[in-house]
Structures are given as structure tokens and as C-alpha cells.
Amino acid sequence: MSPPSDHPCLHLHVLPGAFFVRKLEPRQLNETLKSLIQDDSDSSFLSITRTNEELSVVGEYQEGKTPEAYKELSGWRAFKIAGPMEFHLTGVLAGFVEPLKRAEVPIFAVSTWNTDYILVPKEKLETAVDALKNDDWKFV
């Protein structure tokens, strides 16, 4: 299933650097925020989602800035769909993950207002890029 259109908002970026994915208990929110959110202007990707069952934390690992406990969890690379995408677009994420499913590449997806970020294990990055290119996704 190729992308729903060739619009530039659907072009892909492979983000530099390593990303981490961590599951915590919901009550660990304040502790996690204190350890991950910095007051400096050098912002990086960070997503925190809390439910009554869990706290999921996804972010860019930055040596010397991200707590050391996250280093061993930073075995992920990230794709960004360029965005911003209009809400009337349908099937974008489904179209993205289908070729990865066929290539047996596991994913962790994070959606924002503007776009989607899809993480893959770093050892599967090349396989993922090849699968997406073969499915006519365009890379920036």
C-alpha cells in the first residue's frame, strides 16, 4: 500500500540520533518530567503519554543531557512524516506501516497534531528504508 498521495507533507525524514522508548508506572510522571525536561533552549523530541495503566515515554537520547538510565533503552531510530497533515487525510499511518509489516520491522508510533513519528529498532533501519522506498514513499 503506497502513500495516499505524493504530496510533500507525506515525504519522509529519517531523524538523526538514537531514540528511547520506556514504560513506567503512571505515578512516576513528576519524577520522569523532572529528569527529562531541561530548561535550556536545545529542545529535542519528547513524548509522554499517561493512562491509568502506564506511562509511556519516548524521546531522543542526547549524551550528557538525557539521564543515563535511558541510554540502554536508546536502540531506536525515528522516521518523521513531513507534515503538517490535514485531518481529512486517511490511511497515512496504515499505508506507512504496511510495507514495514511485510518486511517484519516492528514499530512504535507517536502521533502529534501535525504529523506522525514512527520508531523502528536501529538494526532494522536499513530494512525499513528499503521497504518504504520499494513502496514509493519519498525521502527528503
Domain boundaries, the chain: 8-134
> Do the beta carbons of residue 59 and residue 112 sit within 8 Å?
no
Mean pLDDT across 101-130: 96
pLDDT of residue 5: 64
Look at 11-15, 33-37, 62-66, 105-109 and tell me which has the smallest mean pLDDT: 33-37
Reported confidence tier of residue 102, pLDDT bands at 50, 70, 90: very high
Residue 19, CA distances (Å) to 5, 66, 82, 86 in order: 28, 11, 18, 26
Q: What is the pLDDT, as a whole number, of residue 68? A: 83
The pLDDT score that the predictor gives to residue 41 is 44
pTM, to two decimals: 0.87
pLDDT of 22 higher than 60: yes
The answer on pLDDT for 95 being more than 60 is: yes
Could you please state the CATH topology (level 3) that the domain comprising 8-134 is classified under.
Answer: VC0802-like (3.30.2130)
| Number of CB atoms found within 10 A of residue 55's CB | 18
CB-count exposure of residue 103 (10 Å: 0-12, 13-18, 19+): middle
Least confident of 26-30, 89-93, 113-117, 133-137: 26-30
pLDDT tens sequence across 43-90: 678 898 988 998 899 999 988 888 888 888 899 999 999 988 888 788
Instruction: Look over the chain and give the mean of its residue pLDDT values, rounded to a whole number.
Output: 87
pLDDT digits (tens, 9 = 90+) for 29-50: 777 777 776 645 466 788 989 8
Question: Residues near 33 by Cβ (< 8 Å), separated by ≥ 6?
Answer: 48
Contact (CB, 8 A) for 75 and 22:
no
